[in-house]
A and B are shown apart, each in its own frame.
Chain A
Amino acid sequence: MARDFIDLKQFQMKGNLSPRTIGLAVVAFLTLVLVFTSWYTVSAESVGVVLRLGKYSHTTQPGPHLKIPFGIDQVTHVQIRRQFKAEFGFRTEQPGIRTRYSERDFEIESLMLTGDLNVADVEWTVQYRIADPFNYLFQVRNVEETFFDMSQAVMREIVGDRTVNEVLTVGRTELAVSAQAKLQELADQYQTGIRVDQVILQDITPPDPVKPSFNAVNQAQQEKEKVINEARAEYNLAVPAARGEADQMIRQAEGYSIERVNRARGEAARFISVLEEYRKAPAVTRRRIYIETLSELLPKIGRKLVIDKDLQNVVNLLQLGKEGTNNEDR
């Protein structure tokens, strides 16, 4: 169009302003305008929704397309293949699609009541796509705002039906699944044309002032484990050792038993053998044993006294005891 304009100026400067030239210029100008306003390109992630005189006509896929110019066909590009992300309770620093929310107080968004009337700090993101461009454009005014309102209402409704413990720990996955289902239900009810891909729970924490006491619970839980483990360790230290000792005692008793019985058997056998020989010649054997014993015994005895059979009061004479012993030692 710029070139077209210059061309006109050149004509003017030359001063060849015949009506024919002007006519040609006008036709050329209009043709150019027509060419430039009667085609458009739909980018790869979008579709083009065409309104003809305000009425929906058709939807076009990526690529160049023709349209009727002069505002008769109006094309709105809708990015149906792009996934969008909305953040609640926090904001990503880098500017993106949600930067217009960055001045809000996030705590207001993230603090919510649980079913047991406690407070939890819930941060989440919603990933969504535009599934139905027609509904997205024509059924709800300010559709994104609506969708964000719905997301908040749904999350609070669901958190409000759970205990703070469920929200913080065991119920997390179920919470996300329920939120997604409920949000999709609402989005369909309003005909927003939005498909919820995923509700992702980010940080779910107790409110800041309460956090230390939650940590204290964790600590106490660990303390409990620790104390119990210590006691178990003591148990494990003492009991197996005692079992060993007990085993030892029993083995010893078994040893004693074996020894005792063996000894008895041995001694009995020995006695029986001796007895058998004795029976063959009792008197001689008896005497032999007596003499053998004495001859074994006598060398061991330090002091021997032989007295006559008629001697009386021998013990007095001997002065047995200390003195005698002493004399002997000297």
Chain B
Amino acid sequence: MKTARLATIALVLLVLITLGSGLYIVDETQQVIITQFGEPRGDAITDPGLHFKLPYLQTAHFFDKRYLEWDGDRNQIPTKDKRFIWVDTYARWRIVDPLLFYVRMTNELQAQTRLDDIIDGATRDAVANHDLLQLVRTSNREVTVDPDLPEADLATGLAEITTGRTAIMDQIQEVAQARSVDLGLEVVDVRFKIIDYNDDVRQNVYQRMIAERNRIAQRFRSEGLGESSRIRGEKERDLQEITSEAYRQSQELIGKADAEASSIYAAAFGRDPAFYDFLKTMESYPAAFDKDSWLILSTDGEFLRFLQSARP
């Protein structure tokens, strides 16, 4: 009775342990391969849920099936045009063939190390094969120009590019992908997180930017002076034009008036020039003499002849 009871308990325990060894849960984020004595058995299990394997004999190996991160070190790499730049890349990858991945890499840490080599190498090659401009720019887009700034002064305009940042990133991704195909993983995307000058170059660039700005500032100043000179010249010109125009008009007016007056006079006085002479002369006498003038009158003159005789 008692032994039977113990046996039952032992049996139940055995069943439970066996079940525990045979059952396993695959999470939404996981994929599993089964090995038997180290040898992979069957396809990878990617369905999430409860699964069963042979207890004791088989082992389940869990791998992530999500996009996984890879973050490169900041590397100093010379470009094709011999500029040293810092390049910081990141990549996303995933395990597409867990069986192969298990055979080649065993675990994720191994894979990260291999990816370091593969992606860093591909990045170095790509950076060294392109000018800095190609690495920075993506397209030959039309540049919006600030109407206030004399853009022509900016020495480094946007030169044409032939490849461009996105295309280079794609190249790196393709190379990395090709090199990691037989590792059971897929490099989905490689991107430059940071491309930056190293400190020496950066100082030079700052100097250049400062010089460029100073040139623009200088340009503004001289534009200001030029424009103000132009306005002053315009002022002088306008003044002269205004004054001389007024002079011309007034002279014309005066001349016309003089002419008109002249013709009026001529028309009137011409009726009897002799009488005009006489009248005008008479009129001018009172103005011609004053109290300091001497007047010597002869007694045979018109005026005084009656002094001598009342008879005409």
Interface residues of A (CB under 8 A from B): 51, 53-56, 108, 111-119, 137-142, 145-146, 149-150, 152-153, 156-158, 160-166, 169-171, 174, 189-191, 206-207, 209-210, 213-214, 216-217, 219-221, 223-228, 230-232, 234-235, 238-239, 242-243, 245-247, 249-250, 252-254, 256-258, 260-261, 263-265, 267-269, 271-272, 274-275, 278-279, 282, 286, 289-291, 293-294, 296-298, 300-309, 314, 318, 320
- Cβ contact of A260, chosen from B136, B257, B269, cutoff 8 A: B257
Verify A306–B157 contact, CB threshold 8 A: no
**Also in contact, A163 and B90, with CB within 8 A (given A55-B28, A242-B239, A300-B286):** no
Q: Does A304 contact B297, Cβ atoms closer than 8 Å?
A: yes
Tell me the bound Cα distance from A238 to B268 in angstroms: 47
| Residues B50 and A53 in contact, CB atoms below 8 Å apart | yes
Partner of B66, one of A141, A207, A213: A141
**Chain B residues, CB < 8 A from A238:** 235, 239
| Contact indicator B268/A119 (Cβ below 8 Å) | no
For B284, give the chain A residue with the smallest CB separation. A293
Distance in angstroms between the alpha carbons of A146 and B239 in the assembled complex: 71
Complex Cα distance, B248 from A253, in Å, reads: 10
Which residues of the other chain, A, contact B218 by a CB distance below 8 angstroms? Answer: 220
A112 CA / B186 CA spacing, docked (Å): 30
- B191 contacts chain A at the CB level, 8 A cutoff: yes
Does A289 lie within 8 Å of B26, measured CB to CB?
Answer: no
The smallest beta-carbon distance between A309 and chain B, in angstroms, is 4
Is B15 engaged at the interface, CB distance under 8 Å to the other chain?
Answer: no
Q: How far is the CB of A297 from chain B (nearest CB, A)?
A: 5
Most chain B beta carbons < 10 A, residue from A156, A254, A258? A156
Contacts of B217 in A (CB 8 A): 213, 216-217, 219-221
Which of B96-104, B170-178, B201-209 forms part of the interface with chain A?
B201-209
CB neighbours of A246 from chain B (8 A): 242-243, 245-246
A156, B242: Cβ atoms closer than 8 Å: no
Bound form: Cα–Cα A216–B202 in Å: 21
* A219-B217, A261-B260 given; 18 more Cβ-contact pairs under 8 Å: A51-B48, A114-B136, A145-B69, A217-B213, A217-B216, A217-B220, A221-B220, A249-B250, A250-B249, A257-B256, A260-B257, A260-B260, A264-B264, A268-B268, A293-B286, A304-B295, A305-B294, A309-B299
Secondary structure dominating the interface of A? helix
Q: A166-B143, A171-B144, A297-B289 are in contact. Are A224 and B227 (CB under 8 A)?
A: yes
Contacts of A250 in B (CB 8 A): 246, 249-250, 253
Chain A residues with CB below 8 A from B148, complex form: 221
Interchain CB contact (< 8 A) of B265 among A220, A264, A297? A264
The answer, yes or no, to whether B162 is at the interface (CB within 8 Å) is no
Give the distance in Å from the alpha carbon of A164 to the alpha carbon of B90 in the complex.
Answer: 25
A234 cross-chain contacts in B, Cβ below 8 A = 231-232, 235
**B264 lies within 8 A of A116 (CB):** no
Kindly list chain A residues whose C-beta atoms are within 8 Å of the C-beta of B290.
Answer: 300-302
B2 part of interface (Cβ distance < 8 Å)? no
**What's the tally of chain B residues with a CB closer than 8 Å to chain A?**
121
**Does B9 sit within 8 A of A, measured CB to CB?**
no
Residue B210 interfacial (CB < 8 Å)? yes
Indicate whether A163 sits within 8 Å of B154 (C-beta atoms), given known contacts A267-B265, A293-B282.
yes
Please give the distance in Å from A180's CB to the nearest CB on chain B. 16
Contact across chains for B250 and A261 when beta carbons are under 8 A apart:
no
Q: What is the CA–CA distance of A249 and B275 in the complex, to the nearest angstrom?
A: 38
Q: Are A156 and B213 in contact (CB under 8 A)?
A: no
Residue of A nearest to B236 (CB): A238
Chain B residues, CB < 8 A from A294: 285, 303
Interface contact B220-A223, CB-CB below 8 Å: yes
A239 with B265: CB separation less than 8 A = no
Which residues from A are CB-within-8-Å of B264? 261, 264-265, 268
Give the contacts of B80-98 with A (CB-CB under 8 A). 90, 92
- Across the interface, A113 reaches (CB within 8 A) one of B136, B245, B295, namely B136
- Answer whether residue B12 sits at the interface, using C-beta atoms and an 8 A cutoff: no
Q: Specify which chain B residues have a CB less than 8 angstroms from the CB of A149 in the assembled complex.
A: 69, 71, 90, 191, 193
B73 CB within 8 Å of chain A:
no
- B194 contact set on A, CB distance < 8 A: 108, 112, 152, 156
Q: B48 touches which one: A55, A160, A170, A260 (CB < 8 A)?
A: A55
A245 with B246: in contact, given A297-B286, A304-B297 (CB under 8 Å)?
yes
The minimal Cβ–Cβ distance linking A227 to chain B, given in whole angstroms, is: 4
**Across the interface, which residues of B come within 8 angstroms of A118, CB to CB?**
156, 205, 208-209
Q: Which residues of the other chain, A, contact B69 by a CB distance below 8 angstroms?
A: 141-142, 145-146, 149
B197 with A119: CB separation less than 8 A: yes
Chain A residue contacts of B297, Cβ below 8 A: 304-307
Q: How far apart are B94's CB and chain A's nearest CB, in angstroms?
A: 9
Q: Are A119 and B298 in contact (CB under 8 A)?
A: no
A154 CB to nearest chain B CB (Å): 9
Known: A169-B146, A306-B307. A271 touches B250 (CB 8 A): no
Which residues of B are found within 8 Å of A254, using beta-carbon distances?
253
* Of the residues A163, A174, A271, A297, contact of B268 by C-beta under 8 Å: A271
Q: Contact between B289 and A301 (Cβ–Cβ < 8 Å)?
A: yes
Whole-angstrom distance from the CB of B54 to the nearest CB of chain A? 20
Q: Which residues of A contact B299 (CB under 8 A)?
A: 306-309
Asked whether B209 lies within 8 Å of A210 as measured between CB atoms, the reply is yes
In the complex, which residues of chain A have a beta carbon less than 8 angstroms from the beta carbon of B209? 118-119, 164, 206-207, 210, 213
Other-chain contact of B195, A116, A160, A247 (Cβ < 8 Å): A160
* 30 A-B residue pairings within 8 Å (CB atoms): A53-B25, A55-B49, A108-B196, A115-B136, A118-B156, A119-B209, A139-B66, A141-B29, A149-B191, A157-B192, A165-B145, A207-B206, A207-B209, A213-B210, A220-B216, A220-B217, A224-B220, A224-B227, A249-B246, A249-B247, A253-B251, A261-B261, A264-B260, A264-B261, A264-B265, A286-B275, A293-B285, A300-B289, A305-B294, A307-B297
